[in-house]
Structure formats: structure tokens, C-alpha cells
Amino acid sequence: MNKKEAQKRIEELKNITAYHAKKYYDDDNPEISDFEYDMLMLELRNLEKEYPDLITSDSLTQHVGGTVKEGFEKVEHEVPLQSLQDIFDYGELYAFDERTRKALSSESSEENLEENDEQLTLDNIKQDSNIDLKYVVETKIDGLSVSLEYKKGVFVRGATRGNGLVGEDITDNLKTIKNIPKKLKEPIDITVRGEVFIGKKEFEQMNFEREENEETLFANARNAAAGSLRQLDSSIAASRPLDIFIFNVQKCDSINFKSHIESLKYLEKIGFNVNPVKVLCKNIPEVIKEIEKIGDNREKLTFGIDGAVVKVDDLKQRELLGTTYKTPKWAIAYKYPPEQKATLLKDITFQVGRTGAITPMAILEPVKVAGSTISKTTLHNEDFIKEKDLRVGDTVLIQKAGDVIPEVVGVLKEKRTGKEVPFEMPKKCPVCGADAIREEGESAVRCIGIECPAKQYRNILHFASREAMNIKGLGDSIIEEFLNRNMISSIADLYNLKLEDIASLKKDGKKFAQNLIDSINESKNNEFYRLLNGLGIRHIGVKAAKQLAKKYKNIDAIQNASVADLLQIDDMGEIMAQSIYEFFSQEQTKDLIRKLKEHGINMRLEEKSIEDNRFEGKTFVLTGGLENYSRKEAEEIIENFGGKTSSSVSKNTSYVLAGEDSGSKLQKAQNLGITIINEEQFIEMIK
């Protein structure tokens, strides 16, 4: 590659790496793997090494990626939080050792010495190959780097790395992490650096719960940890299983540590949770042995790593070696290449989650990857399979993503024989046979069967919830128990439960059983909208359920409504109307409605005469917090006076009721000239 071509490629790489660094550091939402990013940076670094006059300050080889997020206070680091230079083979490790020894034996290093420090002279450093140079090998934790500042042993401030010189004050979020001591065992002034992470099992459990709640899954544990810490609301960090390992003393004026290992032992002594893997090595062969040992044991570690760190142990030697703008010259990071294995894609099956999401699963010829045998893995969704052009019978490449989750990374198309079978998502649920629907704008295909066995736990839990049928005492653990004991298999079975069966679940459970039976029986007389909400029709909540009940009066009329009819309801969008129509078209829905009718469940609107309809024809939008009413109470008052409420401001809005901390709705109302009232004015209106 000539210089002109190199310059063009360098510019391309600077733009590409800057984009992906922003996605990684600032957005906590990477689009490529760590290995792919590392390879881009390696290519950029090698080109700049070949053409040093093309190096510019905006290149990520010259500074740490990451910026300070808006909303956080800035923190200037007294000691920069630098990044490490990455290497990918042992030859580079020997080159690092050679550079380090040469620098320590060179007289030019005297320029780095303080004139008044008699102890730091090159006479104290052995020359050439005889230099007493020891290294510490540690695991490179895959998380978010932070600094913790203590005054007289008390934790006073914590910050992200940011760009290395300036970070974000995230003290409140860090205080939620139980392994960060609020008070040390000694009253010392000290600043330390650590890595916040989420353990492997904790990450899997967290993603499982997010899937159950129909929330977007985290791409990996690192981004889950980073995203949790960079939230303005500290309760979010408190709800996540965050942990930390400390790996360095940044600043401590009162103790003169001689070595890195000595400082780590002291940190453990005063209460810090220190990186558990830290081995002192006499030479590079010993370093390589430890790197290989870490690599062999990666599967056994409870936390994710993205490499091994090699550091000079002697702190005086570190001072002599110095740093560049971005990286210390006394440390380096060895990155493990992701292990990939080829195997046969024997079949693609389907797993139906509690929300009805149908996930394709790869059934593989068992293959050992990164220490564990892989025989199946998720294929995520229809788009993922089509993007990679996966076919049953293909030879595929498997690797472990983030040392935790096995994934299919590609197809060896040159091994195709022509007998491979193209993939198609099912049109029917593989568990219950109901329609499987993919809505516009979504990646998931979902079963919409109300009686699908895979969905029963979620269906029943929602049916019994406070805003639906409000069956008191029917919580998640009781539902699980009913299902596990085959006491129920659908919503309708709740109304077949016997007192003695429920009582058998608990010691002295007769009172509990009687209360639950009473609550189940009371639910038969609920307002009609509660049943509609309880059925769990996708996109239909309390408000839409009330509108349906008001418009159609009974369940039969709703079942017979067309999409065009449903669209006549105020605020009813096409997606909502289609969802209602498809739901009531299912044989499972018709079967459930029939069973509930037999149990005497109320399925019609009991018309209430509105004596005072002062708000008839008026639409209210509520924003902000009210002092005397909850949002729900205020909405009910408006509806009882014949009015209606909406979630969005438009030219058809009559009033915006604005409380404390009103947001964008208030601004929009002002722009449109909508009448804005406060709580005091609202109270006057309803007297």
C-alpha cells in the first residue's frame, strides 16, 4: 500500500473506529464484537506506525474513547485513567519486554527523574538483560472503569473514566454497589481504580427477567454494567447486580508502596474487593504460562474477561518508564482471539417464551468451544437467520460471545452440497397451533393464543392483576404452584378451584384458601372493562379496554367487530384494531370466552346514568404530579363527569391539567394554544 492509499484507509479507519467507540463507550450499545473493533484498531495502529507523519490528534490511537454524558457533573482526574495498548500474540509480548528493558537501561531515562530524588537514579537499576524486572499478570475484567476517592477512609466521590482526563461523577450510583466499601478499615486518603461488572450468572438471570417483561435484552454484560452506572436515576443502578474489582492505587501520598503486588495486598487489607487473579512473574516465559492458564480457565471464572493484563511490578521502574498521552509504557493487554469451531446445523427448532415470543433455536452437532460443549444455541429471530443465510444442513462457525453465550457467527458456504433446507418461520405456534404474528416494526414473531401452555403463567398473572380482575392473594408463587401441581392449565380453571385444594398448599391454609376463593368469586362481578384488560390483548391496556366496553357494550359485539369498525373508536390505531380483531378470531379465544361465560363472568357493560355531565365532549391530558389525586383518580373523576382523557396533546385537546414537573406535553400545549389548568383550578371545576 502506497502512502496515498494508506492516507485514504487511515481516514476511513478513523471514522469507523470513532463511530464504534461512541456506540461502545457513550451509548453502551455496540454494533460489532470486541474482536472486530480490536482488529480495526490494530490495522489503524500499524498503518500509523508505517506512516507516522499521517498521525493526527483525532485518531483513537492518540486518546481514550468516551465522553462525559450530559446530566452528570464533570470530574477532572488528578491521575489520568489511561487505556492499555493491546497485543495479540506472544511475539509482541517479547517485544514489549525488550522495549521495557532497553528503556530502563538507557541514560535517556534520567530526563524523567526528579532532580531532588536521590533514590531514583539509574545506578539503582541493573543494566540490560540483567535488569531485575518482574511482571504482574491479572485478568482484564470486562466492565466499566471507575475511580473511587476516599478522604480519611470515607468514600466521597466516584467517577467514570470518560476520556481519561475528565469523567462523570456517578457517586450515587456507585454507592449502590455492596462491594464498594463506604468506609475503609483505616482512615486514609486514597484514590483507587477498579472495574464495575456484572457476573455471568447474574447477567443471564437479568436478561431472562427482561425477556419475561418484554424488555430489550442487553447485548453483553459489559454494556449492561456501563448502562446501569450511567443512568441519572440511581435506583436503576441499585436494581442491577453490579459488582466491582479494584486493580490499582491511583494516588496515596501517605504510603510509599514499592511494588504493585504490595499495594494490592494493602487494598485487600483495608476492605477493597481486589481483582482475584494477580500473579507475580519473574520473566516473560512465566508471564506466558499465566496468560495460558487464565485462557484455559476462562469458563470457570464467574465474571467475564476480555484479556490478560501484564504490568511492571516495581513502582520506581514504572516511574522511569513513564507514559504516552494515552497509554502507560509499563503495561500491556494481551487479547485472546475468540475460539471458533465448525459444526453441523442439524435442525432449527422453536422455543415459545412466556410472552408468546417464538425464538428459533439451532440444534448442533455437539462441539467443544472455549471449554464447554455446545449442542444448541439461540438464533434470535427471523432477521438474524436471513442475514446470515442459515439453512438446515449447513456447516456453521460457533464461538462464545463475551465468554458466556454461544453464538453462530457464520456459514461455511463452500461446504454446501445443495441438500440444505432454507429456513421459514412458522405461521402457527409450534406449541398450541394458534396464529403466529409478526407485527410491523418488530423482530419477534409471537403466538397470540390465549390458552397456549407456554404463555399460561404470564396470562394468569396478568388476568389476576390489580388493574385487571384484581384477584387478591393470587400472586406469582401461588400461580407457579397451581401450574406445577396441574391444578390449573388456563385462566378458566381458576373458577374450578376447590377450597380443600388451595388449603393443601399451605400449613393451616384454610383461611388463605377461603379468602382466595372469595376473591375469585367476587371477580365474576367485575366491571366489563376489567375482563377485557385481563385477557391480555396485545397493545390493549386499561384505557383502551374502557373504550371498547363503552363502544360495544358486550363481548359478543366486540367478537363480531371488523377492523374498520374498531378504527371508529377515538385514539384507536390500526395496530391496536388489528390486534383486537386477530385475538377474537382465534378458536382459543372463543373457547375461553365460552368457558368464562359458563362460570358466570360479567361480559357486558352496566350502563351508569351520568347525573352530572359537565365535561361531556371535553378531552383532558394530564401531565406532571398532582398533590391531592393520583393520575388514575383524576382520570376517573373526569370520566364520571362525562369527559375523557388522552395520553397525547393535539388540537382536539380541551384542557391540559399540569402538575409538578410537567414535561413536553405542557410545552406542546402552550405552542398549540390549549387551555392549561393547575390542580387548584381543576378542584374548582369539579366542585
What are the residue numbers of the active site?
140
Give residue 555's identity as a one-letter amino acid code. Answer: I
Q: In terms of DSSP bridges, do strands 86-87 and 619-623 run parallel, antiparallel, or are they unpaired?
A: unpaired
Taking Cα atoms as reference points, which of 383, 389, 377 lies closest to residue 348?
377
Indicate the angle between helix axes 34-50 and 3-21, nearest 10 degrees: 150
C-alpha dihedral, 678 to 679 to 680 to 683, nearest 10°: 130
- Do the Cβ atoms of 98 and 360 come closer than 8 Å? no
Q: Is residue 307 classed as helix, strand or coil in its secondary structure? A: strand
Rounded distance between C-alpha atoms, residue 653 and residue 668, angstroms: 11
What's the length of the chain?
Answer: 687
Q: How far is CA 419 from the centre of its chain?
A: 39
What's the grid cell of residue 32?
460489532
Taking Cα atoms as reference points, which of 447, 370, 445 lies closest to residue 406?
370
Taking Cα atoms as reference points, which of 294, 308, 182 lies closest to residue 247?
308
- C-alpha distances in Å from residue 495, one per residue of 173, 224, 471, 481, 570: 46, 42, 11, 16, 34
Residues ≥6 apart with Cβ < 8 Å to 420: 391, 392, 393, 394
> How deeply is 579 buried, as exposed, middle or buried, from its count of CB atoms within 10 A (0-12, 13-18, 19+)?
buried
What's the grid cell of residue 585?
378470531
Indicate the angle between helix axes 456-463 and 476-484, nearest 10 degrees: 140
What's the grid cell of residue 681?
383550578
Phi, psi angles (nearest 5°) of residue 621: -120, 130
Give residue 2's identity as a one-letter amino acid code. Answer: N
Rounded distance between C-alpha atoms, residue 221 and residue 203, angstroms: 6
Direct distance between the N- and C-terminal alpha carbons of the chain, in angstroms, rounded to an integer: 82
Indicate the angle between helix axes 221-229 and 200-212, nearest 10 degrees: 80
Rounded distance between C-alpha atoms, residue 516 and residue 528, angstroms: 21
Rounded distance between C-alpha atoms, residue 438 and residue 167, angstroms: 43
Rounded distance between C-alpha atoms, residue 559 and residue 594, angstroms: 12
Burial 13-25 (b: 16+ CB within 10 A, else e): bbebbeebbebbb
Cα angle, residue 292 at apex, residues 286 and 294 outer, rounded to 5°: 105
Q: Is residue 233 classed as helix, strand or coil in its secondary structure? A: coil
